């Protein structure tokens, strides 16, 4: 396993990040624990979750599953860089969502309790809160940092100008600010190349792509899949809209002798701004099969073909659309 710094921080994380959104709703607790044990065996030290995963309001089911795994001991907690998130509703009362000091404080305490740990390595804002001033957000994060409850702060689903706002105000407060941005990024969704990636590169912020397989669309969806997200009505509708392109994609992968899922992940790993794509295995077998992506080297010719098949916005703004 290769390890890289998370953005400009001194923190070293694996090139793949284990996503845990399936833990609970799709994957049993027993299997989830087995997957996490195997991830450590494979050298993955970076796990991503969120307080809303499990999708039962206020319960934080996935965090609880991880917490019970940490409680087994054996150095599990010490080996893992755990990232979780705050923003989404954890109840129906007015201050049980978003990024007020009150909600951030309570949400962090609740995540610590469920995760059975006394600190969170990377505390991420799950979305930007346009109704909360950055001074308030940073005051909350600074307090948690001083108390030793969080070590680093990340964002998720931020626009480029949100990242700039956040960093400039953090700089005024002599605070490190963001070290990572978790964004939708894959061959079919390259919008962040316009402004998010340039902003992150300018500020030394690592990119953690979510949905690297486009909800399964890039995972060999034409191969008769009858289960998982790739079998959903929404994905099947997109398949019909993109069938010609997907056929060309899967044929190219076949020529390379690699699975579409692993080629899609390898493409992300070839992007210089990317720290670690988030993988979301439902089984240990899926996890082990994914490791192949780390060994795939895509030639300039193949990268050019992928750009032609799935064109991005044309590079960073403003050159992407102006002289």
Would you name the residues annotated as active-site residues? Answer: 53
Say how far apart CA 185 and CA 192 lie, in whole Å: 7
Give per-residue burial for 62-76: e unless 16+ CB within 10 Å, then b.
bbbbbbebbeeeeeb
Question: Starting from the edge strand earliest in sequence, which strands make up the sheet with 178-184, in order?
Answer: 206-210, 178-184, 150-156, 120-125, 81-86, 46-48, 17-19, 278-279
Q: Evaluate whether 261 touches 213 at the Cβ level (below 8 Å).
A: yes
Give the H/E segment covering residue 38: helix 29-41
**Residue 103: alpha-carbon gap to chain centroid:** 22
Helix, strand or coil for residue 49?
coil
Classify residue 248 as left (phi > 0), alpha (psi -120 to 50) or beta. alpha
Strand partners for 5: 12
Q: Evaluate whether 61 touches 54 at the Cβ level (below 8 Å).
A: yes
Residue 80 in tokens: 């893992």
């Amino acid at each position: 396993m290769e390890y890289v710094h998370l953005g400009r921080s001194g923190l070293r994380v694996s090139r793949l990040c284990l996503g845990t959104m399936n833990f609970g709703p799709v994957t049993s607790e027993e299997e989830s624990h087995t997957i996490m044990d195997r991830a450590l065996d494979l050298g993955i030290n970076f796990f991503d979750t969120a307080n809303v995963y499990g999708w039962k309001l206020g319960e934080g089911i996935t965090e609880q599953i991880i917490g019970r795994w940490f409680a087994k001991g054996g150095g599990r907690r010490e080996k893992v860089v755990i990232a979780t998130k705050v923003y989404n509703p954890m109840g129906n009362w007015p201050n049980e969502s978003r990024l007020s000091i009150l909600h951030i404080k309570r949400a962090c305490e609740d995540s610590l309790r469920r995760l059975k740990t006394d600190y969170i390595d990377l505390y991420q804002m799950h979305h930007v809160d346009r109704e909360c001033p950055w001074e308030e957000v940073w005051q909350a994060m600074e307090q948690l940092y001083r108390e030793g409850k969080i070590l680093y702060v990340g964002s998720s689903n931020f626009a480029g100008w949100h990242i700039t706002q956040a960093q400039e105000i953090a700089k005024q407060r002599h605070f490190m600010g963001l070290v990572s941005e978790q964004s939708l990024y894959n061959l079919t969704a390259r919008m962040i190349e316009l402004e998010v990636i340039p902003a992150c590169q300018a500020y030394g912020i690592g990119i953690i792509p979510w949905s690297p397989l486009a909800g399964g669309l890039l995972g060999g969806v034409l191969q008769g899949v009858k289960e998982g997200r790739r079998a959903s009505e929404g994905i099947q509708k997109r398949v019909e809209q993109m069938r010609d392109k997907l056929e060309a994609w899967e044929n190219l992968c076949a020529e390379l002798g690699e699975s579409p899922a692993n080629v899609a992940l390898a493409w992300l790993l070839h992007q210089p701004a990317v720290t670690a794509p988030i993988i979301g295995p439902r089984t240990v077998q899926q996890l082990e099969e994914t490791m192949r992506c780390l060994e795939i080297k895509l030639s300039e010719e193949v990268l050019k073909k992928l750009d032609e098949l799935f064109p991005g916005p044309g590079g960073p703004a403003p050159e992407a659309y102006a002289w």
